[in-house]
Amino acid sequence: MKRPQLRHPRLLVATTGALALVGAAAATQSPVVAAQDVSPLMARHVTVTSGLDNPRQLSLLQSGDFLVAEAGHGGDICSHGNCIGITGKVTRIHGGVPTHVMAGLLSAASKDGTGAVGPDGASQLPGGPYLTVESIADASFVPPGLPAWQAGKLIAKLPGGPKHQVADISAYERNNDPDGEGPDSDPYSVLALNHQTLVADAAGDDILSVRGHKVSLWALLPEYGPKIDAVPTVITKGPQGNIYVGELHSELKHKAKVWEYDRWGNVIRHWNGFTTVTGVARGGDGSLYVSELFGGVCTFDQIPSCFPGRVTRVWPDGTRTHVNVPFPHGVVVTGGRVYVNAFSISPGTGFGGNPAWSGQLWRVFP
């Protein structure tokens, strides 16, 4: 699987047409519209935080605060349809108030800041530094004067300390190519555990383990044919300690899976029937919550009256219920409440300058 330069495999290619439609719609909208009023087909929700900059992975910290990877909105140096800068960041949200705990991270986006790639994953080592993975994997695409050392790396930062490289994720792909399809890397999601850190490489189709500075293969996702790969976009831990991985797969409806692994990387089970998975969480009652970026009944040509995207709840008995969330990404469950990043392909100013379409953190399934 080969991807366009600096673009997340399939995800951003697929959203290009959608963003053009959103842009056209934005031109006809009032610049100030409450998020709850944008679509009559949108889930009832509480907006915890708005103004987020292409929010991707959502993690829950031990304190109960949220940690969000913000892919940024690119920058001022533009070429080949990408504008590159250091607007990526990792943000901690306490009581709805965001604080940037890591900034100055590489970001590439369209000129209007939509559909960015950059620090797409964020986690924190228990009692230790914040971690992120940089999805811009090839340093040769980074213009002079920008921190090319970040490209394809697992990066750490202690409060008050400098950012530093922990491991070169993309170098492992270049040197080992576990799926045998030719080197292609896009570190996209990160999970910090007590004795290792797991990284989902979306383009490498694998989950890698980092212990100290050493990178090794933890799990290789299945292939679906010569043109369709799994594309793991999220890795998270459930309340019983098992690990969950979601696939982007393709833009085809109901083809993506969610996998459950034990702590050693052995498959326990999987769930079928999802569309472009970008977030997974397991509730204390055994329910599984899945963000589906392009899921649901809404299509791109219905924007802005109806946005693609939904969060699906799989009950312990297998029953599925859904709520419509525009372009959802990371999802977590805490205290019986479900939180999800909405408008995950939008900059902090909102697509088309409409703040109602900025990246946001919602509470759903009230």
Report pLDDT digits (tens) over 113-145: 999 999 999 999 988 999 999 999 999 999 999
For residue 2, pLDDT beyond 50: no
Q: Which of 340, 302, 337 is nearest to 56 (CA)?
A: 340
What residues have CB less than 8 Å from 235, skipping those under 6 apart? 189, 190, 191, 198, 199, 200, 207, 243, 244, 245
Predicted local confidence at residue 103, as pLDDT = 98
Predicted local confidence at residue 31, as pLDDT = 31
Classify 238 as helix, strand or coil.
coil
- The answer for 180, left when phi > 0, alpha when psi is -120 to 50, beta otherwise, is left
When mean pLDDT is compared across 35-39, 213-217, 264-268, 346-350, the lowest value belongs to 35-39
**pLDDT tens per residue, range 72-83:** 999 999 987 889
Mean pLDDT confidence for 296-303: 88
Classify 351 as helix, strand or coil.
helix
For residue 53, pLDDT beyond 60: yes
User: CA 42, CA 309: separation in Å to the nearest integer?
Assistant: 10
**pLDDT tens per residue, range 303-362:** 888 899 999 999 999 999 999 999 999 999 999 999 999 999 999 999 878 999 999 999
Mean pLDDT confidence for 249-259: 93
User: CA 339, CA 311: separation in Å to the nearest integer?
Assistant: 10
Amino acid at 85: G
Q: Do residues 343 and 359 touch, judged by C-beta distance below 8 A?
A: yes
Q: Output the pTM of the full model.
A: 0.91
**Would you place residue 24 in the very low, low, confident or very high pLDDT band (cuts 50, 70, 90)?**
very low
Q: Do residues 327 and 275 touch, judged by C-beta distance below 8 A?
A: no
User: CA 58, CA 202: separation in Å to the nearest integer?
Assistant: 17
What residues have CB less than 8 Å from 280, skipping those under 6 apart? 234, 236, 244, 245, 246, 258, 288, 289, 290, 291, 331
Classify 210 as helix, strand or coil.
strand
- Mean residue pLDDT across the chain: 89
User: CA 277, CA 198: separation in Å to the nearest integer?
Assistant: 18
For residue 99, pLDDT beyond 70: yes
Q: Do residues 284 and 333 touch, judged by C-beta distance below 8 A?
A: yes
Which two tokens mark 345? 């392909």
For residue 112, pLDDT beyond 60: yes
- The answer for 295, left when phi > 0, alpha when psi is -120 to 50, beta otherwise, is beta
Q: Which of 102, 93, 221 is nearest to 166 (CA)?
A: 102
For residue 4, pLDDT beyond 90: no
What residues have CB less than 8 Å from 40, skipping those under 6 apart? 305, 306
Could you tell me which residue, 339 or 6, shows the higher pLDDT? 339
Mean pLDDT confidence for 18-31: 39
For residue 21, pLDDT beyond 70: no
Could you tell me which residue, 194 or 13, shows the higher pLDDT? 194
Predicted local confidence at residue 366, as pLDDT = 65
Q: Do residues 324 and 42 touch, judged by C-beta distance below 8 A?
A: yes
Q: Do residues 138 and 80 touch, judged by C-beta distance below 8 A?
A: no
Mean pLDDT confidence for 61-72: 97
